Amino acid sequence: GQQVMQIPQYQHVQEGEDFTTYCNSSTTLSNIQWYKQRPGGHPVFLIQLVKSGEVKKQKRLTFQFGEAKKNSSLHITATQTTDVGTYFCAAGNTPLVFGKGTRLSVIA
Amino acid sequence: SAVISQKPSRDICQRGTSLTIQCQVDSQVTMMFWYRQQPGQSLTLIATANQGSEATYESGFVIDKFPISRPNLTFSTLTVSNMSPEDSSIYLCSVWGQGTDTQYFGPGTRLTVL
């Protein structure tokens, strides 16, 4: 099955700094999804990327799917304390296989 | 979207006992999934539960330890049997949204085994 590696495992940033998490696979992915899990919460769907080289934006969040469809990134511009949580990438189909996640902490 | 509820939300159990977790969805879904998330870790799929057939378990998980029921298209249960402290975890029910490519998650059941 498809497996995805995610880095970094942890990231501590000052409020206002940017943040990026990366997701990599050794195989070509049909699609990739990103989820956010707040502390004490459950994973919540953010976005899905399907096309090679696709870039999608949600306010301060920018999601990118690599040209070879083997990697993806999530970039947050000017982090806020509300961005705190763990960001997971996930790939595959019914069900998804999740990366280990990147835990983001934001220091005010 | 799908709204999922789980019961109980949390429990503290004694070693050797069993706990049944219930998952209710507000719409009919074909596929339901049970995940385990150990503290600070990612989500690990336990099994896929389809209505009318036996659950399909992932490597490392067996039916005797984690029996699953799926009596209809909106409900499923997961039992954690003969519990040990290593079973302390969050157990999450999830469904594949009908007509979407999105998985929705329940709020989870936080289990502590003493």
Is the bond into A95 cis (omega within 30 degrees of 0)? yes
Residue A11, pLDDT above cutoff 80: yes
* Count of CB pairs separated by less than 8 Å, A with B: 42
Q: Which of A13, A99, A100 is nearest to A60 (CA)?
A: A13
Average pLDDT, integer, range B27-37? 92
pLDDT at B56: 92
Interface subset of A 43-82, CB within 8 angstroms of B: 43-45, 48
Between strands A5-7 and A97-98, the pairing is unpaired
pLDDT at B30: 86
Token output for A63: 């999601």
Span B78-112, pLDDT tens digits: 999 999 999 999 999 999 877 777 789 999 999 99
**Chain A residues with beta carbon closer than 8 angstroms to that of B101:** 31, 33, 48, 93
Q: Cα–Cα distance between B110 and A98 in angstroms, integer? A: 20
pLDDT at B96: 82
Average predicted confidence (pLDDT) for chain A: 94
Decide which of B77 and B30 is more confident.
B77
pLDDT at A12: 97
3-state class of A73 per DSSP?
strand
Q: Where are the beta strands (DSSP E) in chain B?
A: 4-7, 10-13, 19-25, 31-37, 44-50, 56-57, 68-72, 75-80, 89-96, 103-105, 109-113
**Chain B residues with beta carbon closer than 8 angstroms to that of A51:** none
Buried/exposed code over B15-37 (b: 16+ C-beta within 10 A; e: otherwise)? eeeebebbbebeeebebbbbbbb
Q: Where are the beta strands (DSSP E) in A42-95?
A: 44-49, 55-58, 61-65, 71-76, 85-91
**Chain A residues with beta carbon closer than 8 angstroms to that of B45:** 95, 97
Which residue of A10, A21, A42 to mutate against B (max B Cβ within 10 Å)? A42
Query: Are A98 and B96 in contact (CB < 8 Å)?
Result: no
Cα B111-A97-B92 angle, rounded to 5 deg: 20
pLDDT at A95: 75
Buried/exposed code over A70-103 (b: 16+ C-beta within 10 A; e: otherwise)? bbbbbbbeebeeebebbbbbbbbeebbbbbbbbb
Span A70-107, pLDDT tens digits: 999 999 999 999 999 999 999 977 678 899 999 999 99
pLDDT at B55: 92
Decide which of A24 and A93 is more confident.
A24
pLDDT at A94: 66
Span A40-62, pLDDT tens digits: 899 999 999 999 999 999 999 99
Q: What is the CA radius of gyration of chain A?
A: 13
Residue A2, pLDDT above cutoff 70: no
Average predicted confidence (pLDDT) for chain B: 93
